[in-house]
């Protein structure tokens, strides 16, 4: 359904854009219908940049993004509008998605105006009520309120309710539960599972390894813009090949091991484009080998399980 082919994003930074920051480096992945694919990595690894490119909020520097076989970046206005009927995004901070001076349910009226102007208001209201029930909200409690009168979890569910109003096939969910408390978290994540049951796809972006494990059919481990390893979560976590994956797993709490503080948040900087030929992880890798760590490529180490490291 969604395919990324060698997608690269270089941000120009420094005086007159003198430096090229390699935020995403030749990333290829796909999200088939009815699957949840998690992008996991520390902050600064390029996850949000990928999400934004999929939503066409920014354009890739090179590479192609295909949705149902069509290149997202070649879509004209009409095709793009159709695209947004099928592809939507939800982000970390639900409050920032709303204009505080308008009632929160205005987003539903905006959807009607853009996509379903011919649906009579009465019928539309009924659709909204049904969509809210799908995301576990009581319409009486949440309609006609201003954003500040709703909780983060309620607002986040409002945003996800769009999925049930539009014909959404793919949801880009970027750290959508980071700001929610534990019980609301589970409720919001359950909606994603529901979407998957209906045959929808989710690109689930998180820095939380255990969330990725719990939810996804496939997990993509990213470091400094590049894919280090990917495959089914049981495989990738059960038999990690890349030292970075192993390192991340070390940081996850288990019943036997005490919480060591989650994924350490080491300086969120992307690689400079001139350092492209060497493994991103080289500087931190205990197994660094000068000749073998040049320009690693993803290889299938076991069926469906890929890693960009010479070690096995
Ligand atoms: N608009 C921008 N201009 C310049 N650099 C950016 C911009 N957006 C993100 N970056 C940089 O790109 C890298 C990847 O960022 P991001 O995609 O937000 O990572 P993540 O979501 O994994 O934390 C970071 O080094 C970040 O500082
Ligand atoms: Mg991010």
Closest atom of ligand 1 to 41 CA is 22
Distance 238 CA to ligand 2 centre (A): 26
132-136, 152-156, 281-285, 299-303: which is most confident: 299-303
Asked if residue 269 has its Cβ within 6 Å of ligand 1, the reply is yes
Average pLDDT over residues 119-132: 94
Question: Is residue 252 pLDDT above 90, yes or no?
Answer: no
Q: Which of 223, 207, 219, 221 is nearest to 279 (CA)?
A: 223
Neighbours of 287 (CB within 10 A): 14
Neighbours of 249 (CB within 10 A): 15
Domain 30-56+75-267 indexed as CATH 3.40.50.300: yes
The model's pTM is: 0.91
Relative to the alpha carbon of 23, which ligand is closest? 1
Asked if residue 270 has its Cβ within 6 Å of ligand 1, the reply is yes
Closest atom of ligand 1 to 174 CA is 21
> Measured between alpha carbons, how far is residue 104 from residues 122, 144, 146, 151, 191 in Å?
18, 7, 5, 11, 20
Query: How is the chain split into domains, by residue range?
Result: 30-56+75-267
Which residue's CA lies nearest to atom 8 of ligand 1?
49
Question: Is residue 304 pLDDT above 50, yes or no?
Answer: yes
Q: What is the pLDDT of residues 215-227, one digit of tens each?
A: 999 999 999 999 9
Average pLDDT over residues 127-142: 92
**HSE, side-chain direction, 13 A CA sphere, residue 228:** 29
Helix segments in 100-252, DSSP class H: 106-115, 121-134, 139-142, 152-165, 182-197, 209-215, 233-238, 243-250
Distance 20 CA to ligand 1 centre (A): 12
Residue 245 banded pLDDT, cuts 50, 70, 90: very high
- What pLDDT was estimated at residue 218? 96
Both tokens of 228, joined, read 């280090």
Which residue's CA lies nearest to atom 26 of ligand 1?
44
Residue 167 banded pLDDT, cuts 50, 70, 90: confident
- What pLDDT was estimated at residue 163? 86
Q: What is the pLDDT of residues 187-238, one digit of tens each?
A: 889 889 999 999 999 999 998 888 888 899 999 999 999 999 999 999 999 9
């Amino acid at each position: 359904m969604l395919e990324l082919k060698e997608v690269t994003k270089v941000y120009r930074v420094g005086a007159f854009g003198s430096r090229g920051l390699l935020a995403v480096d030749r990333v290829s992945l796909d999200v088939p219908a009815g699957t949840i694919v998690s992008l996991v990595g520390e902050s600064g690894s390029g996850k949000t940049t990928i999400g934004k490119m999929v939503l066409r909020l920014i354009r890739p520097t090179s590479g192609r993004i295909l949705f149902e076989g069509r290149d997202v970046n070649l879509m004209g206005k009409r095709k793009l509008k159709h695209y947004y009927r099928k592809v939507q995004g939800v982000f970390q901070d639900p409050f920032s998605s709303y204009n505080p001076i308008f009632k929160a349910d205005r987003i539903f009226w905006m959807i009607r105006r853009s996509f379903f102007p011919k649906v009579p208001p009465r019928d539309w209201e009924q659709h909204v009520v049904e969509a809210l029930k799908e995301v576990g909200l009581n319409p009486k409690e949440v309609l006609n309120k201003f954003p500040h009168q709703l909780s983060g979890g309620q607002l986040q569910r409002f945003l996800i309710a769009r999925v049930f109003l539009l014909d959404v096939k793919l949801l880009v969910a970027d750290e959508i539960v980071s700001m929610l408390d534990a019980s609301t978290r589970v409720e919001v994540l359950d909606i994603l599972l529901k979407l998957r049951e209906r045959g929808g796809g989710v690109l689930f972006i998180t820095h939380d390894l255990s969330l990725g494990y719990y939810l996804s059919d496939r997990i993509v481990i990213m470091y400094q813009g590049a894919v280090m390893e990917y495959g089914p979560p049981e495989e990738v976590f059960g038999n990690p090949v890349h030292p970075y994956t192993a390192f991340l797993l070390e940081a996850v709490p288990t019943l036997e091991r005490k919480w060591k503080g989650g994924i350490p948040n080491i300086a969120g900087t992307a690689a400079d484009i001139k350092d492209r030929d060497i493994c991103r992880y080289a500087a931190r890798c205990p197994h660094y080998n000068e000749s073998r760590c040049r320009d690693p490529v993803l290889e299938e180490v076991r069926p469906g399980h890929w890693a960009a490291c010479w070690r096995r």
